[in-house]
A = this chain, B = another copy of it.
Amino acid sequence: MALMAAHTIAAGEGQEAAVLLDRARESVDPELRRAVESLPALTRRVAMYHFGWEHEDGSPAAVGAGKAIRPALVLASARALGGPQGSPESVVRAAAAVELAHNFTLLHDDVIDNDARRRGRPTAWTVFGIPDALLAGDAMMALALRMLADDPHPASARASARLAACIVELCAGQQADCAFERRTSVTLEECLAMATAKTGALLGCACAVGALYAGAGPEEVDAMDAFGREAGLAFQLIDDLIGIWGDPGHTGKPAGADLVARKKSLPVVAALTSGTGAGEELAALYAGPMTGDDDVRRAARAVERAGGRDWAQAHAGDRMGRAVQELSRAVPDVAAAGGLLALAEFVTRRTK
């Protein structure tokens, strides 16, 4: 399924991105695992399960983990800005810290959103209960910020402060997302601001942390943050499309999951605010219980007919364009940014 068929991408970029993601996972995973294994027993057990390294009973597992997009962005950003300063382990630890912070949000969001499945298996709170999942998430956030604050790299305290500020923004984004569920009308502008806070902020922070570890100056760091935010918004738009039209076999989630939950995702809000008959039909479906598969299929078709699907795909392309502009402020020869563009393009072509 080519979600971004209209967006021309060099054939090699998808492969380059896949290699970068694999390499990031390979270098960051041991550091991440070491960090998680340092947690106190009860917290560790939840985290080991969440990362797919243990089964429910504590026996070893090798369940497919996340896509390592954020660690790959940290590492690629550091390389694009002249390579990491200091010991090579330092930037890998920073990448692991960012991934740990991301996974704290997943643990808490699954509780808050009442999501029962993630990465093809039951979410941690359904297995260990809400208190243990929340406390494991709390501990993971604290550990992530500690890994940065404790690091000998000269920019590590700034990176820790930046990640902490980003986490405040992530919380506000998730809170806005929850508030939108309760409201009958949400503007597209509000929805874009929410997605920027909820998703863009951490991708931006990943790029900024990479730049900090390369010894970049404040302006370059901010430009890298802006690059990550724009790419992050493109990422979220594609994620929202997958939430409606993604293949359950790929995503590990039921088809139309976001519609069943009546999520006010970006394509949905674009449709609801389109002023079309299909938009009104969607609003009527969202006002009801929407339990059956037929309702979900009708809602998906309404989003499409109201232009929500096309808009989301086109807007993801726009955001990628802005991302490239921001990147050029930090790295004048964008071609030299190597994997960064490939990574950014990759996330807008993924199907899961």
Contact = CB atoms under 8 A, between A and B. Distances in A.
A112 B141 contact: no
Interface in A153-175: 156-158, 160-161, 164-165, 167-169, 171-172, 174-175
Contacts of A139: 167-168, 171-172
A25 interface: no
Given A112-B131, A131-B112, A167 B138 contact: yes
Contact of A135 (B130, B164, B174): B174
Nearest to A182: B129
Interface in A102-148: 108, 111-112, 130-132, 134-139, 141-143, 145-146, 148
Given A132-B178, A141-B138, A160 B149 contact: yes
B175 A132 contact: yes
Contacts of A40: 168-169, 171-172, 175, 197
A143 B160 CA distance: 11
A131 to B, nearest CB: 4
A42 B160 contact: no
A259 B187 CA distance: 50
A153 to B, nearest CB: 11
A171 B108 contact: no
A6 interface: no
Interface string A171-208: 11011101100000000000000000100000000000
A136 B138 CA distance: 12
A39 interface: yes
A164 B179 contact: no
Contacts of A146: 160-161, 164-165, 168
A156 to B, nearest CB: 7
B168 A142 contact: yes
Contact of A149 (B41, B143, B149): B149
Contacts of A149: 145, 148-149, 157-158, 160-161, 164
B131 A171 contact: no
A150 interface: yes
Interface of A: 39-43, 108, 111-112, 130-132, 134-139, 141-143, 145-146, 148-150, 156-158, 160-161, 164-165, 167-169, 171-172, 174-176, 178-179, 197
